[in-house]
A and B are shown apart, each in its own frame.
Chain A
Amino acid sequence: MRLNSNSRWCSLLFLILFCGISNSYAQNYQISPVLPFLSHDSVMVDIGFKDVFGESIRKPLLAGLPILLHAEIMVTSSGGEMVQQREVDIQISYNVWEEIFHLSFNNRTSVSLETLDRLQNWLAKLPGIFLVPANKLLDSETYQIKVVSQASILTRRQSNQLQKWMQESDQTEEDSPSQGRSTGFRLNLNQLIQMFFSRDKSQEAYQAIGESMKFTLKDLRQP
């Protein structure tokens, strides 16, 4: 009985301490239908992103903060076993002064676009992505393609810049009067905060998940 009472106290305490912390972001972009197709004996996939530029992403982008769209494309068999995995990285940035969008696709293709609409159109249908040679898949097996995507607003560079900004704020004139009576021990609160801040990157990212219909190689060969 005593233990239960203590447990209740602990639960209440943690509830109080952590209430209001949890604040998950809503998913505000989608993956357009995932369409596998066969091209030159390779299984490829068409994917795209819809409604990427909601306000929460558009505003930082137009302020010049780069956005990183990362997608993991997984080919799984009917038993849930992963057959192949590919990764796609799209970095989008906006040159505020020249008013032009730059897009880098897997660090290979670079595209410059003048408007947000054109950028959205480009993202709505990405160039076909090679997944796996067709001969690696079994004719009799049923497969499915799953796409897990994440749009990160605060890249490492931005986070570092933010931390630097916080660090600089630690060296304001507010410190000067206390330096005279310094005891040698000084708790650097900002660094402590940054320690937690730099560990928590997941909150600046949005996620979208999409998957294809289940298919066999025979389905793909038919026009």
Chain B
Amino acid sequence: MIRIRHKIILILLMAVLLPLIPISFLVYNLVNQSYQIGVNPQVQQALEQGVNFSKSIYTMVRKELSTALEEFSQNEIVNIDPEKLNSEVFYRLGVDSSYWTLISISFVRSDGKPGWEKSFQGVTVGKIDPRILRQFRADQNSLIVSDRENNEFMALQRVKASKSAEGFLVLRARLNDSYLSQSDHLLQVHQIFQSLHVARSSLLKSFLYTFIAIALVLLSIVVIFGMWISAKITSPISRLVKGTAEVGKGNFDYQLPQLKRRDEIGKLIEHFNQMARQLKINQERMIYLEKMAAWQQMARKIAHEIKNPLTPIQLTIQQLVDKYPDKQNDYGQLLSECATIINEEIGSLRNLVTEFSEFGKLPELKLETGNLNHLIQEISPLYGDRLQLDLAADLPDFTFDWDRIRRVLINLIENAIQADQKDHPVQVRTSLLGNKITLMIEDKGAGIPPAELGKIFEPYFSTKSGGTGLGLAITRLIVEEHNGRISVDSIVGEGTRFRIEFPIE
């Protein structure tokens, strides 16, 4: 059975795996192609060009700041009134107002001490970090310091108008936030595409691993499902295998536990149990019929051996009585009494021989179609009010031997009447159950002790004085010959019920 289980699981696995193999190829290629569509060289090139373009603008606008400051420094710095300065001066000198917001212009002396300052935004600007001034090389006149992260830009211009005006002009400005964020975003996307390009292999692997993980989960589910379904299919089959082995050994009492399922497996188990039951009935019937055949043969022999000497014995006794002259003396009277007793016993033996003979030579069945109710109604007048009939109105006709079944009925009814000393009516019931006609004869007599209940259908077993013990044996034989079944229930002190089932077909 384990092999069947393995086969079922293997078949289910193959059913999942076989489509999985082309699908895995397909998925891998699909992911690969999707990746190539998304991260293709043209997109990367466009992004790179976008970053370069953004960088050119950035360089250009910073240059504007530096150039404007340089031009501004050409003026007479000494005579400048800072209060009169405004940002328009620098915008006129070429600073693009759409990019730049000017914050302040200030003058710092060469030694780093603050000179003058004009704020364009109404905020006080802090001191300049001396390290910035130290970045100036001797031959360098201008410098741009950028803090892009904080959006703080500074253009510095060395001025040397006079000794008192020697130092640096510092123009502080802030770039348009929108430009900065857009260009930063562009760079970020470019970096992500570069990362994707770098991580191509591991990314594709990740997709494949994900696919494999999902496939493994599915496979696990299939295996578990396969195990469950194979166990569901094979466990009743295993039981059937064991059951057939038991039945094969002759154990017809073996029954499989009935399943609730209504499918073929459920039906199979139901039919198996039915088959085992039927085999048991057939076996019992066969054993019984064989036993009865042996009894019948013996009965025939006994009848033959006893019947032959009875007539010579009877004639001899009669001769002895007839030849003795004085019938009135004591001996004569004794002889006459003995002859009477012998004749009575010979009569009994004749009756016994007749019954044995009838039992031993039961004629062939004369099957005719008839109705059991009619037969019961025919014999019921013989017993008057001792019978209480309860006959099913819809009882169908069936084929049976009218005379033999009549004998069965008479046997059972008379037994019932004899068993009940209080003259309760004997109940005779017929009914139709499925494809069986059921006949029940029930009395309220003394009942049969359980120890004797199993023997009552045996030949020559009788609880009645003077009974031959053949009545119930013949009854059962007749029922068995009609493929019927007879059973008895009895409770001592309450009564006995005989039940006969005749199959219609």
Contact = CB atoms under 8 A, between A and B. Distances in A.
Contacts of A59: 194, 197
Interface in B20-47: 21, 24-25, 28
A13 interface: yes
B190 interface: yes
A223 to B, nearest CB: 40
A96 B148 CA distance: 11
Given A13-B21, A60-B195, A96-B51, A21 B205 contact: yes
Interface string A116-156: 00000000000000000000000000000000000001100
Contacts, number: 91
B77 interface: no
Interface residues of A, number: 34
A200 B198 contact: no
Interface in A139-188: 153-154, 158-159, 161-162, 165
Contacts of A200: 202, 205-206
A45 B355 CA distance: 130
Contacts of A65: 191, 194-195, 198
A200 B199 CA distance: 10
B201 interface: yes
Interface string A59-86: 1100111000000000000000000000
B198 A56 contact: yes
Interface in A177-215: 189, 192-194, 196-197, 200-201, 203-204
Interface string B286-329: 00000000000000000000000000000000000000000000
A23 interface: yes
B411 interface: no
A153 B198 contact: yes
B57 to A, nearest CB: 11
A97 B195 CA distance: 19
Interface stretch (B83-91, B207-215, B233-241, B371-379): B207-215
Contact of B55 (A96, A162, A201): A96
A55 to B, nearest CB: 11
Interface residues on B, range: 35 or more
A23 to B, nearest CB: 5
B55 A97 contact: yes
Contacts of B194: 59-60, 63, 65
A13 B17 contact: yes
A130 B203 CA distance: 39
Among A63, A99, A197, chain B packs the most CB atoms within 10 A around the CB of A63
Interface string B442-471: 000000000000000000000000000000
Nearest to A201: B202
A196 B210 contact: yes
A154 B146 contact: no
Interface of B: 17, 21, 24-25, 28, 48, 51, 55, 58, 146, 148, 183, 187-188, 190-192, 194-199, 201-203, 205-210, 212-214
Given A63-B51, A201-B202, 4 more contacts: A17-B208, A65-B195, A96-B187, A192-B213
Interface of A: 13, 16-17, 20-21, 23, 25, 56, 59-60, 63-65, 96-99, 153-154, 158-159, 161-162, 165, 189, 192-194, 196-197, 200-201, 203-204
